[in-house]
């Protein structure tokens, strides 16, 4: 086990800078997920740590040692590749123990570890097969086995589940979590799938265009997104962002005033008289049908939402509604009887709403503008 | 008359390939059969051939010149096949690296393969010319590595070496071309995975590159064996004193004491060996 630290990392390909000042610390045994859209630099970050790309500026530190100049084979890192990168000419057994052979581990230890890993991943029956004779899920497991068997300091996963079908992906997700719990190796896991990020990580790091936008536990990221990008990227369906105006005592959306109640966190920064234009963010799951919401409390209300479309999902329904000129996605439970074309009054908990600066896209409660003089 | 679509297609197929079969039959199959026929005769240029059974073969198998020629051929094949494959592999690995003007280099390397045989043969003969050649000038006059000038092509002892070098130089581009096309299709992930597994550059060559290109290497070796087994033009033009089997056959059939019956029997044996190689290639390498 080892700690991993990225210090002021920059990466340029020619004149294009793809990583801008990345700083990240991963504690011993921690499972950190690096998530972001395609091309955000997450895979590049992983490859820098692995030593498969040169670092333009900054330091990669494993266990307090700077490893910038070490070749990949000397970093004691194991990596699972997106398309597995198994050796096609070697069978499953040879694929798994290849790293141990290179490290000149004794035959007895090699056999013992192989047996343990094969059992853990249920690969005992396939040890003599070539990769071409395996299914996608089995290949995935061999790739995992190759990483686990080496007892490396750090595991790197580069979108390992993206080539699997939905059911298998779900299964492997729990499998990887289970294995991590068993071996407790420091892990950095790259994905573009926010569900994987939410379900697997001890901590999530959200990246966009070569910059870390936010890092924190899955719940912190979900409940306190620091800007509109994180707010809309994490969570499915995406958070609604409505044009609104913020006043000291209320928010105005499409001419409707929603007053802050007593216990609500209010803006403690200066607001212009005509109101501060903001994006009001509310997750689709946080809406309630007024008919089934308990009265009172801190519930705020948006009236006269016109229903464009209803998609029944089983235990709840997803609605596309129109409030004035703005469209919202709303998820309500099955009891809602309103039909397409009806209007509906929607309740939500103001404490779960977010206020984003319209210019900087930042969460005003996390990054407030100038506060009034005390 | 009712015939099925399959039958109609099959008839069309036969009609389409009939001209090729005719030409191949006339130019290849007939001469082969006629050659087999001749190998059982004492061939007279007047046309009054005399049937001798296996006498030509018996005489041939007792002829030391034949074994000497066979030995020369084996050396020639060993040198050329090994040489073109190793040089082709080395150049392919080199050309697979990234460096400026790589595309130009990749193209220039192919030139020997496309140059007409006769013109490059004259070039090589000039290089090794004992009086005016560059080789002797450099070795004797400039570097003083030897006190006397050598006629490398004229001397039968060294001529074989020159012929082998010429073949390697002229034909390594085809090995290079086949190998590099395979190299480019190897997934980079495999090399990266091997590096992560603790494998250095040499280990990566033996564990990834070599298994990936082994099929191409096998094909190259067997194809070059087949081609060079019958190679006549280059050898004869460059150094007619190097008596590989095709040259030996030619001398037996058309020069000195003309013995076309025996030449035919040499050809039949050559043909059988070549057929064996082709069957091996098709069964074991192409796996048809």
pLDDT of A257 > 70? The answer is yes
Mean pLDDT confidence for B115-127: 93
Q: Which of residues 227-266 of A touch B (CB under 8 A)?
A: none
Q: Yes or no: say if A286 and A222 are a contact pair by the CB < 8 Å rule.
A: no
Mean pLDDT confidence for A34-61: 93
Mean pLDDT confidence for A198-202: 91
Percent of chain A scoring above 70 in pLDDT? 96
- Can you point out the beta strands (E) in chain A? 4-13, 16-26, 31-35, 57-62, 65-66, 77-80, 154-158, 186-191, 203-208, 211-216, 240-246, 250-253, 256-259, 276-282, 287-289, 299-312, 316-323, 326-333, 343-349, 354-357
Of B196, B199, B212, the CB nearest to A50: B196
Question: What does the pLDDT read at residue A220?
Answer: 92
Pick the CATH number of B63-285 from 1.10.3720.10, 3.40.50.740, 1.10.540.10, 3.40.1030.10: 1.10.3720.10
Minimum mean pLDDT among A160-169, A257-266, A267-276, A347-356: which range? A257-266
Q: If pLDDT is split at 50, 70 and 90, which confidence band does B3 have? A: confident
Q: For A112-167, what is each residue's pLDDT tens digit? A: 999 988 988 888 999 999 999 998 889 988 998 998 898 889 999 999 888 888 88
pLDDT of A263 > 60? The answer is no
| More confident site: A373 or A40 | A40
CA dist., res. A95 & res. A90, Å (int): 6
pLDDT of B15 > 90? The answer is yes
pLDDT of B288 > 90? The answer is no
Mean pLDDT confidence for B137-146: 87
Q: If pLDDT is split at 50, 70 and 90, which confidence band does B42 have? A: confident
Q: For B157-183, what is each residue's pLDDT tens digit? A: 899 999 999 999 999 999 999 999 999
**CATH code given to domain A4-232:** 3.40.50.300
**Interchain CB distance below 8 Å, A83 and B197:** no
Mean pLDDT confidence for A88-112: 92
Neighbours of B24 (CB within 10 A): 12
Q: If pLDDT is split at 50, 70 and 90, which confidence band does A370 have? A: low
Q: Interface pTM (ipTM) of the complex? A: 0.79
Q: If you count residue pairs, one on A and one on B, with CB atoms under 8 Å apart, how many are there?
A: 59
Question: What does the pLDDT read at residue B47?
Answer: 77
Q: If pLDDT is split at 50, 70 and 90, which confidence band does A374 have? A: very low
Mean pLDDT confidence for A196-213: 93
Q: Which two tokens stand for residue A202?
A: 């001890």
Q: If pLDDT is split at 50, 70 and 90, which confidence band does B287 have? A: confident
Mean pLDDT confidence for B223-248: 92
**Interchain CB distance below 8 Å, B203 and A102:** yes
CA count, 13 A, side-chain hemisphere, B260: 15
Q: For A297-342, what is each residue's pLDDT tens digit? A: 567 888 888 999 999 988 889 999 999 899 999 999 888 888 899 9
pLDDT of A371 > 60? The answer is no
Which residues, 6+ apart, have CB-to-CB distance to B277 below 8 Å?
B222, B225, B226, B229
Residue among A99, A143, A144, A156 with most chain B CBs within 10 A, to mutate: A99
Query: Would you kindly state where each structural domain of chain A is located, as residue ranges?
Result: 4-232, 237-357
pLDDT of A294 > 80? The answer is no
Residue B210 C-alpha, separation from nearest chain A C-alpha, in angstroms = 10
Q: If pLDDT is split at 50, 70 and 90, which confidence band does A249 have? A: confident
Question: What does the pLDDT read at residue A265?
Answer: 63
pLDDT of A195 > 70? The answer is yes
The mean pLDDT of chain B is 91
Q: Which residues are A6's β-sheet partners?
A: A24, A60
Question: What does the pLDDT read at residue B145?
Answer: 84
Pick the CATH number of A237-357 from 2.40.50.140, 3.40.462.20, 3.40.710.10, 3.30.70.1340: 2.40.50.140
Residue among A49, A72, A156 with most chain B CBs within 10 A, to mutate: A72
CA dist., res. A138 & res. A134, Å (int): 6
Please tell me which of A347-351, B11-15, B147-151 the model is most confident about, judged by mean pLDDT.
B11-15
Least CA distance to A77: which residue of chain B?
B196
CA dist., res. A125 & res. A122, Å (int): 8
Task: Tell me the chain B residues in contact with residue A46 when contact means C-beta distances shorter than 8 Å.
Answer: none
Q: For B28-41, what is each residue's pLDDT tens digit? A: 999 999 999 999 98
Query: Considering the entire predicted model, what is its pTM?
Result: 0.79
pLDDT of A262 > 70? The answer is no
Question: What does the pLDDT read at residue B171?
Answer: 95
A31-35 and B50-51: which strand pairing?
Answer: unpaired
Question: What does the pLDDT read at residue B207?
Answer: 93
Chain centre to alpha carbon of residue A58: 25
CA dist., res. B284 & res. A10, Å (int): 53
Q: Which two tokens stand for residue B54?
A: 């296996």
**Interchain CB distance below 8 Å, A72 and B192:** yes
Minimum mean pLDDT among A292-306, B58-72, B93-107: which range? A292-306
Q: Which of residues 170-209 of B touch A (CB under 8 A)?
A: 187, 189-190, 192-200, 203, 207-208
CA dist., res. A26 & res. A217, Å (int): 13
Question: How many residues does this entry show for chain B?
Answer: 288
Of B193, B199, B200, the CB nearest to A81: B193
CA dist., res. A147 & res. A175, Å (int): 14
Question: What does the pLDDT read at residue A266?
Answer: 67
Q: Yes or no: say if A137 and A175 are a contact pair by the CB < 8 Å rule.
A: no
Least CA distance to A53: which residue of chain B?
B192
Which residues, 6+ apart, have CB-to-CB distance to B9 below 8 Å?
none
Residue B83 is given by DSSP the state H
The mean pLDDT of chain A is 88
Question: What does the pLDDT read at residue A23?
Answer: 94
């Amino acid at each position: 086990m080892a700690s991993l630290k990225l210090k002021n990392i920059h990466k340029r390909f020619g004149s294009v800078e793809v990583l801008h000042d990345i700083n990240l610390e991963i504690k011993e045994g921690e499972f950190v997920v690096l998530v972001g859209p395609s091309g955000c630099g997450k895979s590049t970050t992983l490859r820098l740590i692995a030593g498969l790309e040169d670092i333009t500026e900054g330091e990669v530190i494993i266990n307090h040692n700077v490893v910038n100049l070490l070749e990949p084979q000397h970093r004691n890192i194991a990596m699972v590749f997106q398309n597995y990168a198994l050796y096609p000419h070697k069978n499953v057994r040879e694929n798994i123990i290849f790293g141990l052979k290179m490290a000149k581990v004794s035959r007895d230890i090699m056999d013992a570890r192989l047996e343990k890993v094969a059992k853990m991943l249920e690969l005992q029956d396939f040890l003599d097969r070539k990769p071409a004779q395996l299914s996608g899920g089995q290949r995935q497991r061999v790739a995992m086995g190759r990483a686990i068997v080496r007892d490396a300091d750090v595991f790197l996963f580069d979108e390992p589940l993206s080539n699997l079908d939905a059911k298998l992906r779900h299964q492997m997700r729990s499998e990887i979590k289970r294995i991590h719990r068993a071996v407790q190796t420091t892990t950095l896991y790259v994905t573009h799938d926010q569900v994987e990020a939410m379900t697997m990580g001890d901590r999530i790091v959200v990246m966009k265009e070569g910059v870390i936008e936010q890092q924190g536990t899955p719940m912190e990221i979900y409940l306190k997104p620091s800007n509109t990008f994180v707010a809309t990227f994490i969570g499915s369906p995406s958070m609604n962002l409505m044009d609104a105006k913020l006043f000291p005592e209320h928010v105005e959306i499409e001419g409707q005033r929603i007053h802050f109640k007593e216990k609500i966190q209010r803006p403690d920064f200066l607001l212009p008289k005509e109101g501060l234009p903001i994006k009001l963010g509310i997750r689709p799951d946080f809406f309630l049908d007024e008919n089934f919401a308990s009265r009172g409390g801190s519930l705020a209300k948006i009236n006269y939402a016109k229903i464009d479309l209803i998609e029944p999902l089983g235990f709840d329904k997803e609605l596309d509604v129109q409030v004035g000129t703005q469209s919202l996605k709303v998820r309500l439970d099955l009891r809602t009887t309103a039909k397409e074309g009806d209007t509906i009054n929607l309740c939500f908990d103001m404490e779960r709403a977010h206020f984003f600066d319209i210019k900087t896209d930042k969460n005003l409660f996390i990054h407030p503008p100038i506060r009034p003089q005390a | 008359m009712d015939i099925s679509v399959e039958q109609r297609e099959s008839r069309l197929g036969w009609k389409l390939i009939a001209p090729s079969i005719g030409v191949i039959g006339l130019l290849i199959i007939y001469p082969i059969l006629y050659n087999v026929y001749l190998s059982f005769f004492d061939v007279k240029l007047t046309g009054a051939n005399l049937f001798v059974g296996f006498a030509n073969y018996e005489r041939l198998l007792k002829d030391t010149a034949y074994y000497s020629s066979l030995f020369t051929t084996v050396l020639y094949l060993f040198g050329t096949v090994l040489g073109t494959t190793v040089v082709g592999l080395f150049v392919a690995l080199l050309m697979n690296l990234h460096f400026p003007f790589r595309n130009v280099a990749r193209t220039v390397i192919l030139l020997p393969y496309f140059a007409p045989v006769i013109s490059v043969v004259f070039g090589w003969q000039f290089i090794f010319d004992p009086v005016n050649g560059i080789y002797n000038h450099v070795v004797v006059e400039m570097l003083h590595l030897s006190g006397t000038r050598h006629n490398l092509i004229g001397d039968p002892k060294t001529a074989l070496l020159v012929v082998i070098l010429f073949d390697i130089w002229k034909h390594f581009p085809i090995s290079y071309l086949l190998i590099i096309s395979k190299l480019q299709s190897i997934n980079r992930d495999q090399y990266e995975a091997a590096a992560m597994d603790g494998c250095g550059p040499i280990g990566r060559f033996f564990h990834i590159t070599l298994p990936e290109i082994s099929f191409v290497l096998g094909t190259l070796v067997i194809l070059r064996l087949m081609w060079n087994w019958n190679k006549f033009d280059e050898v004869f033009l460059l150094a007619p004193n190097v008596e590989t089997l095709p040259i030996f056959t030619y001398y037996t059939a058309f020069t000195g004491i003309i013995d076309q019956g025996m030449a035919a029997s040499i050809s039949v044996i050559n043909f059988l060996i070549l057929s064996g190689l082709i069957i091996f290639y098709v069964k074991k390498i192409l796996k048809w």
